[in-house]
Amino acid sequence: MRLVILGGPGAGKGTQARKLCRQLAISEISTSDILRRAIASQSELGRQAQVYVEKGELVPDPLLIEFMRNRLLQDDAKGKGWLLEGYPRTAFQAEELDFLLDDLEQRLDWAIYLEVPESVMMKRCLERSRSAIEEHSHTLQGDPKGNILVKDSRPDDQPEIVQRRLNLFYERTIPILEYYGYGKRLLTINGSQSPEQVQQEILHKLQI
C-alpha cells in the first residue's frame, strides 16, 4: 500500500505515520529525515539542498522530487509499499509526485487527511513546545536542592508564530485536498480523537 499523510502542525501526522507503518509493515518516508541524511552524508543532492537549508529557504521542488525518486527506487519502497510524511505540501508537488509515480510504475492508493480544528492544533503546538522546553531545562549551578529552571520560550513557540504556520498550512492544503478529492483518493479522518481512535478510523476506512 502507498499512502501520504496530511495535516497541520499538531495534527499528529508523525504519531499516526509510525503507527500505520508498524501496522501495515510498510516503510515510513519522511522528507525531513531524507534531507538530514543527505546533508550529513554530503551526497551530491545533499550538498545542493544544504545551500537552501542553511539560508532557511525552502528546498526547490525539482530538487525535492529527485530526493523522492531516489528514495522510492530503494528496495523496501518498491516491495512493501510506503507512507510519505512531509510531502507533498502543495498541489503542485502532489501533481509532480503522481508524474513521478507513473514513471516508476507505482500508484498512490490514498491521501489521509487528519482534520483537526485550528484551536486544537494551536493548543497542541503550544503544549508540545512547553514540554520540549521543560525537557531541555537545566539545573541551577550551585543549587543544593537541584531545582529545575525552565528557559524562556523560543520565538517560534509564541502563539503568533504558530498562527502564521497554521495560516500557511490552510493556504497550501486546501488545493491539495481538492486535488486528491477530485481523484477520489482522499480519506478525511477526525484527528481530534485519541491517537488510538484515529488509528482505528484510518484502518477502518482503508478497509483493513
CA distance 165 to 175: 17
4 phi, psi to nearest 5 deg: -125, 150
Whose cell is 512531509? That residue is 86
Cα 176 from Cα 93, distance rounded (Å): 9
Residue among 22, 154, 164, 205 flagged as catalytic: 154
Task: Output the nine-digit C-alpha cell for 92.
Answer: 503542485
Verify whether residue 128 is a known catalytic residue.
Answer: yes
Annotated active-site residue 13? The verdict is: yes
Helices (H), the chain: 13-24, 31-41, 44-54, 61-72, 75-79, 91-103, 118-135, 159-182, 195-205
Confirm whether 124 is a catalytic residue. Answer: no
**Which of 13, 69, 107, 164 does the annotation list as catalytic?**
13
Among 71, 89, 124, 185, the one annotated catalytic: 89
Catalytic residue among 69, 80, 123, 128: 128
The span from the CA of 208 to the CA of 203, in Å, is 5
Catalytic residue selected from 80, 123, 165, 172 = 165
In the residue annotation, 47 being an active-site residue is answered as: no
Contact call for residues 186 and 88 (beta carbons, < 8 A): no
Residues that are catalytic: 13, 89, 128, 154, 165
